[in-house]
Chain A
Amino acid sequence: MSFLVEQVSDEDVSGAFSSGQPDALTLVYERFGPLVYSIALRSLSARSDAEDVTQQVFVSAWRSRGSFDRSRGTLGGWLVTITRNKVADALRERQKNSRVLLQVAGRATVQTPEAPADRVVDRIVLADELAQLPEAQRLVMVLAFYSDLTHEQIAQVLALPLGTVKSHIRRGLRRMRSSLEANGVAH
């Protein structure tokens, strides 16, 4: 058997972005805005900070789009990397502010800001990939993950051929795995 990675979609968005087409940023934002915003929101727990980071990520990505190399990784992975950096910056800024506050308050200990947990980012990346699956496949994956149904039972419930369900599961898992690896956060 082969372990070839299956196509991770988003090729069109990525291509438009690389070539700097005028509407590319709207496409990219439409596709990846929720991914970037969700990572920022979960990492920073404040909507205003998450909004600022999301804005910074897309502005920065657009300005440095020349440095995005499609042959070296996916656009999603690249954006997640930028997001992690901006989140780290925001946390550092927060730490700086809290250090000043604590010093003013006469307290010595300063907490180190936590980088966004890999696990948190991983789960958001998976949720994003799950949302991108075609509807029937997404339903199969959701049932496979969260119901106690076997793949035979899923086929019965959804009135799908067994082979289709097995294929959906194999491809779905592979695709989600690929998105984790593309985002460089899987071990």
Chain B
Amino acid sequence: MSHTDPEILALRALGETAGDPDDAGHLESCPQCRAELARLAEVVQLARNDGPLEALATPPPQVWDAIAAATGIVLPSVNGNHATATADHATPGADRTAGGPAPVPDSRPAAPGAGLRAWWKRRPLAAALAGLAAGLIIGVGGAAGVAQLTQAPAPQLVAHIELSPLPAFPQFQGTSGTAVMRATASQQVMAVTLNAPSRPGFYEVWLLARNGVSMISLGDLNADHTGTFVIPPGTDLDNYSRIDVSLQPFNGSTVHSKASVVRGSLPAVALKQA
């Protein structure tokens, strides 16, 4: 006889007793159909064991902001609307940022991709779909419900800082970057992304003091030009208030190469909040 009807295989994978004795007989003798049944049954087991499938979690908006900033696809908007949107999404206790003005004055023209971003925000398709599935699963799964993925508290966004090239370095014009400062109860973390081509050497991130001489090295950017750094506890950010990314040659020297690729300033408002 021919191979088992795929619909019968699917129903059998779900545990139903579908098909007639001929189907059962064929399944006994046909490794191809048995293998297909096993493949479908694995899906059913994965979906059923450990409770109903959990709805997917939607990443918070600052993740897209950081991606957009790092890729340069959409320049990060740091005007009031954006800051409010970020604060609105923040978790309880984020009143540090709520209602506050944008931490960085924005003198740039509107980003060319601003419309795109708005379009994206208007159509959180994946989120809606995931939510729908969650509703269904809760409805059917009953007591099993949908578990919370995690209860870990989100760090608070303290500041979103644009990094720009300095006029003194024409070779770095067109480069951009962002630094996102976040604070938890115990530490301050800065995530830096640089939108720059790979060059001989490596990129290093510094905090510069107001006197323009003292500096603290936070560390090197990864090969994809991103990096997350813990601000050394006790750092006086009122003084070390400028972020600098340098291009360092591979010469073993630990001091700043004096080749500043981009810079940005911590906004005063963030310093008070931090």
Contact = CB atoms under 8 A, between A and B. Distances in A.
Interface residues of B, number: 74
B126 interface: yes
A22 interface: yes
B47 A145 contact: yes
A29 B119 CA distance: 13
Interface string B15-48: 0101000000000000010001001101110111
A91 B124 CA distance: 30
Contacts of A119: 46, 50
A55 interface: yes
Nearest to B14: A144
B7 A167 contact: yes
B42 A169 contact: no
A103 B120 CA distance: 47
B224 interface: yes
Interface string B47-67: 110101111111110111011
Contact count band on A: 35 or more
Nearest to A26: B120
B10 A52 contact: no
Where chain A touches its partner, the secondary structure class is helix
A142 B140 contact: yes
B56 A45 contact: no
Contacts of B137: 142, 146
Nearest to B120: A26
B67 A59 contact: yes
A47 B63 contact: no
Given A26-B73, A37-B58, A59-B71, A166 B7 contact: yes
A145 B67 contact: no
B120 A30 contact: yes
A32 B119 CA distance: 17
A123 interface: yes
Interface stretch (B127-135, B256-264, B266-274): B127-135
A86 to B, nearest CB: 10
A11 B48 CA distance: 28
A130 B133 contact: yes
Nearest to B50: A123
Interface stretch (B147-155, B168-176, B247-255): B147-155
A48 B16 contact: no
Contact of B129 (A36, A132, A144, A167): A132
Given A166-B10, A169-B10, A33 B62 contact: no
B150 A3 contact: no
Interface of A: 1, 3, 22-23, 25-26, 29-38, 41-42, 45-48, 50-52, 54-56, 58-60, 62-63, 119, 122-124, 126-128, 130-132, 135, 138-139, 142-147, 150-151, 166-167, 169-170, 173-174, 176-177, 180, 186-187
Interface of B: 2-7, 9-11, 13-14, 16, 18, 32, 36, 39-40, 42-44, 46-48, 50, 52-60, 62-64, 66-67, 70-71, 73-74, 113, 116-117, 119-120, 123-127, 129-130, 132-133, 136-137, 140-141, 149-150, 152-155, 182, 184, 189, 191, 193, 224, 226, 228
The 5 closest A-B pairs by CB, nearest first: A34-B56, A37-B59, A1-B3, A127-B53, A170-B10
